[in-house]
Amino acid sequence: MKKIVATFWLFCIISYSNGQIRGEYHHEPFPVYSVGQKVGIAVSIKTFIYKDFFGKDVLRQATNNPHEEPEYLIEAMFKAIQNKDLLLLKSLFLDTVKLNSTDINKMYDGLSLYTDVQFYSKIQSGEFVMMNYDFYTRGNLRPYFSPIIKDRGKYYLTLKIDGSNPFFMASSWVTDWLTNRTKSPLQLNNYTAVHFNCMQKNIDYSFNEKNNDAVTFYFDINLKKEKSNESDFLNRLHQLCMKPGYDNIRGILIPEQIKFITDTTNFISFSYDRIYGMLKYTPIVELLGTVNLSEKKKIAFIALKSEGGLRKISSIMLQIINGNYYVDLEENDKALLSIFQNAYVDKALTTYFTKQ
């Protein structure tokens, strides 16, 4: 079973290129999470958009050095499979891949109907590249993508995709952005930018220095106030958790979620236990600020302290319903979940709120 999955994955990362490359780079921010006109989170990532779905006559192109450019590398991949050249195919990967004649025959069968490739976009950051394209034959298109890595000045196909890497997370949203792209730039003057520099062995971040290869996330952040609706609500939540009893905070949960807090198979139950236990056994809770996702949804970042000092930084999602604040125990938006469950994003935001 594992071998079948591996073979399918290898087949799924094939793509190709052609001669003189036509298109243009874009690096403008695009919304990842928004409600109505309100942009909660935006991202920018270096993206080359090919003109007229560039890619013609793949098998006619010469590739003396397939590792010189991503397009040459992918062209060589396409040729290797069309020619059933197992040695060439293996040489195109940075990783050691286990392939045999049966595997390449399966790939050939899957590609035999296609005569060309239409490139869509090339996404880049640091040492990483993601190619998006369609396999093409008259009247038939199949979308694919190819992860590529630059190692010691040469480009290689790779099987290793780290879902926590901000590059791979952001690149997964590019196709939707290009499909729904508008000419009006986003107004993000008051947003906080976090620039991630993505390399093989190190992913660091900065709030001030942006380079052309950075993956940048934009957050609408309000820092703490001495007195605010959010701080009043969190003080009330903390006091309720400190009282004897397990269900004191039911009244400030989103009503539709209450029935699930005792269902141990539901994520809402886990989220409830996390917040209740976290606040019940923390003597001092201080609001650091909020990430504003919409007019009615926010993520509050809080400092959990004891008399001896800071224990940790954590967060709670809040929702405003009919003017009142409630604890939101569940989020269904996949992009939002992937962002706030990401270790690199969490570390960056924690650092930001801690230093303010």
Question: Could you report the per-residue pLDDT of 247-284, keeping only the tens digit for each?
Answer: 888 899 999 999 998 888 888 999 999 999 999 999 99
Q: What is the pLDDT of residue 205?
A: 93
What pTM was computed for the model? 0.85
> Is 349 a residue whose pLDDT tops 50?
yes
In the structure, what pLDDT confidence band is assigned to residue 227 with cuts at 50, 70 and 90? Answer: confident
In the structure, what pLDDT confidence band is assigned to residue 6 with cuts at 50, 70 and 90? Answer: very low
Q: What is the pLDDT of residue 55?
A: 56
- Mean pLDDT within 43-64: 72
Place of tokens 């490359």: 21
Token pair of 166 as six digits: 């901000």
Q: Which residues contact 320 (CB under 8 A, 6 or more apart)?
A: 295, 296, 297, 298, 326
Question: Could you report the per-residue pLDDT of 271-329, keeping only the tens digit for each?
Answer: 999 999 999 999 999 999 999 999 999 999 999 998 877 788 999 999 999 999 999 99
Question: Could you report the per-residue pLDDT of 86-120, keeping only the tens digit for each?
Answer: 999 999 998 777 888 888 899 888 888 887 777 88
Structural domains in the chain, sorted by start: 2-219 (3.10.450.50), 221-355 (3.10.450.50)
Q: How far apart are CA 15 and CA 289, in angstroms?
A: 45
| 273-279 own/partner pairs: CB under 8 Å, 24+ apart | 275/241, 275/249, 275/316, 275/327, 275/329, 276/241, 276/246, 276/249, 278/304, 278/314, 279/237, 279/238, 279/241, 279/242
Phi-psi sector, 189: left (phi>0), alpha (psi -120 to 50), beta: alpha
